[in-house]
Structure formats: structure tokens, C-alpha cells
Amino acid sequence: MLRALDEQPSAQLLREALAHTHYRVLARAAEAAGDSLHYALEPALMDAFRRLAALDHKADPGCLAKGALARALVALDCLDADCFRSGLRLRQPEPVWGGQVDTAADVRASCAMGLAASGAAGALRELVDLLADPEHRARSGAVRAIGCTEPGAAEAVLRTKALLGDPEAEVIDECFRTLLALAPDTAPPFVARWLDDPGSADPALAELAALALGESKLDAAVALLRARWEAEPLRGRRPQVLLRAAALARTPAALDWLLGLAADAERTTVRQVIAELSVHRGQRRLRSALHECLLARGDAGLLEDYAAQFAPAAGKPEA
């Protein structure tokens, strides 16, 4: 059956596979159904999910099949809120050395997204409950799902979660990124709070906030990164993250700032700019603009740094 599923399976074969008892066959069939958008298989996927949810970990170790089934239902835009609600309640403790581990966290995260997309009344309340899940992957999934609900309410909930914090920085990072996508006008100043007050801010969260701002590619976010850089009297590890964030943004405003530093800043900063921009070594225009800035400075050491960082671009196609 697994071999047959690897060879462009038909809808009939997928239906038969979804009635199979082996979790690996179910997982493979669910992946194929979701990837190929077989909407007619939605009832079969839900039946398989409910069937497995009632069994213990021996029927589906690691929630391999249930996770694939939940992701397929999300991909197929399933609107059955009750099915996703049952997934939010799913727990699967499995024995490990020294105790147990719940392997259903990713299933809950997928079902959270499905519930949010279903538009069901009261979905946000249930997703807020998932923010207190013991497993950080489920909490991160709740954050992403909340971002797909009513924007005003979602922004308020995610701001509150970010301010209250989480034992895992990954969850707050997800809050930053979701907020910046959800509320591009109001979120940048909020996320930038974590860049300030270096004496008390969590260094890890400050770095995550900077990178989230850069990757948002918002002009307002780049302006906040630049303002934070210019307010920093000493150049240490955290300020360098601001340069990395600007390089990730790669917007005209971000590149103008970085090229301006390459032209006028002290040597240590210029070396950092060269290193951060080297991730874009395949961009001919950027490479040329940086080279011109360094030539104008006439610093042989910086030109050597540039040659070392950008040499791998030689012979590669231009982006």
C-alpha cells in the first residue's frame, strides 16, 4: 500500500488507504490528499482522525498519522469546527526514559489553525485557552491561529501574551511576527519596546524583536531599528543584531542606511555591515554599491574584508 501511495495515487486508492489500520499508511494517504487537494476525501479524513483519536499511542506512535490528518484537513479548508475542537483536547502521553511526553502538541497546533479558519463562533475563546498549554509548540500554534481571527481582538490578545511573557522565547517570537503581519501600522512600535532598556530587557527577546522587525520589511520597522542603533553609545553584540535585521529587511530604506554606514562609519561597524550584507552576495547591484562605498573610503583592509566575504559570488548566476 505504501508503494502504491508513492506512485500518483488515485482518489479511490487514497480512500482505501484512509480506511487502513496502519498509522504509516494513514499518514502517507493524508499527506497525498492534502497536497493534491482531494476535497472529496474530507469525510474520510475526518473519520480516520476520529478513529485514531480514540486509541492509545500504540496505534499511532508520535501522532504521525493524526498530525498528517489534521494538516490535510486544514489544507482542504475543512469547516467542521467540532472536529478541530476535538483535536484541541487531544493528549497522547507516551512513555520515555524517566517519565512520559505528550506527542500531540503539533496536532493541537494544527487543529487551532483549522478552528480559526473555520470562522466558528467562540473560536477565539478556545484558542486563548490553548495559550496556557503545557507544550510550547501548542502555544506557538495558538498564537499563529489567533492571528487568523478578528484582527482587533487578535491584536489585543497577542499584545497581552507578549507582555506577560512565556517560558519559551519561541512563543513570544511568534507573537512578534504575527503582530507585525496582523497590524503593520501599530505593531512596530510595540515590538520595538523590546529593543530598549538594555539593563533589564531579556537579551534573547531583544534579538528576536530586532529580527522580527527586519523580516517584516516594513519601513516603520526599519526606522525603529535605525533609531535604536543611533541611540546606542557602545557597539556590542546587540547593536550588531540591528544591522543583521536591516540586512534581512533589504528594503530601499534599510539598504540606504547600511550603505551610508559603509561609507561613513568607523571600521568595526563597516566590517559588521560587510558581514551582514554578504548574505546577499548574489545581488549584483547591492554588491556594486557596497564596493563603490568602500573604494571611496580607500581603506585596503576593508576592501580585503569585502573580497573575502563576497568572493563566493564569482561564477554564480546573478539574482
User: Do residue 116 and residue 174 come from a single domain?
Assistant: yes
Contact 87, 69 (CB under 8 A): no
- Quickly list DSSP for 63-122: GHHHHHHHHHHHHTT---HHHHHHHHT---EEEETTEEEETTHHHHHHHHHHHHHHT-TT
Q: What pTM did the predictor assign?
A: 0.88
User: Do residue 160 and residue 126 come from a single domain?
Assistant: yes
Residues with Cβ < 8 Å from 60, sequence gap 6 or more? 23, 26, 52, 66, 92
Per residue in 282-306, pLDDT (tens digit) is: 889 999 999 999 999 888 999 999 9
Is the per-residue pLDDT at 118 higher than 60? Answer: yes
Residue 49 lies in a domain: yes
Mean pLDDT score of the chain: 91
Residue 240 lies in a domain: no
The domain total for the chain is 2
Residue type for position 110: S
User: Do residue 76 and residue 196 come from a single domain?
Assistant: yes
Residue 244 lies in a domain: no
Closest residue by Cα to residue 181 from 206, 156, 211, 147: 147
User: Do residue 29 and residue 163 come from a single domain?
Assistant: yes
Is the per-residue pLDDT at 181 higher than 90? Answer: yes
Residue 241 lies in a domain: no
User: Do residue 293 and residue 170 come from a single domain?
Assistant: no
Phi-psi region for residue 122, left (φ > 0), alpha (ψ -120 to 50) or beta? Answer: left
User: Do residue 132 and residue 262 come from a single domain?
Assistant: no
Helix (H) or strand (E) holding 19: none
Residue 245 lies in a domain: no
Phi-psi region for residue 98, left (φ > 0), alpha (ψ -120 to 50) or beta? Answer: left
Is the per-residue pLDDT at 78 higher than 80? Answer: yes
Residue 11 lies in a domain: yes
Residues with Cβ < 8 Å from 232, sequence gap 6 or more? 238, 239, 242
User: Do residue 163 and residue 283 come from a single domain?
Assistant: no
CATH number of the domain encompassing residue 96: 1.25.10.10
d(CA 91, CA 108) in angstroms, rounded, equals 9
Per residue in 221-274, pLDDT (tens digit) is: 999 999 999 887 545 556 789 999 999 999 999 999 999 999 999 998 999 999
Residue 243 lies in a domain: no
- Quickly list DSSP for 152-202: HHHHHHHHHHHHH--SSHHHHHHHHHHHHHH-TTTHHHHHHGGGS-TTTS-
Of 185, 207, 235, at which residue does a domain stop? 235
Of 202, 235, 268, at which residue does a domain stop? 235
Q: Which residues pair with 25 in a beta bridge?
A: none
User: Do residue 190 and residue 316 come from a single domain?
Assistant: no
Radius of gyration over alpha carbons of the chain, in Å? 24
User: Do residue 258 and residue 208 come from a single domain?
Assistant: no
Of 178, 205, 235, at which residue does a domain stop? 235
User: Do residue 198 and residue 254 come from a single domain?
Assistant: no
Is the per-residue pLDDT at 315 higher than 90? Answer: no
User: Do residue 230 and residue 256 come from a single domain?
Assistant: no
User: Do residue 310 and residue 186 come from a single domain?
Assistant: no
CA distances from 300 to 216, 220, 267 (A): 35, 35, 11
> Can you give the residue range of the structural domain that contains 16?
2-235
Residue 126 lies in a domain: yes
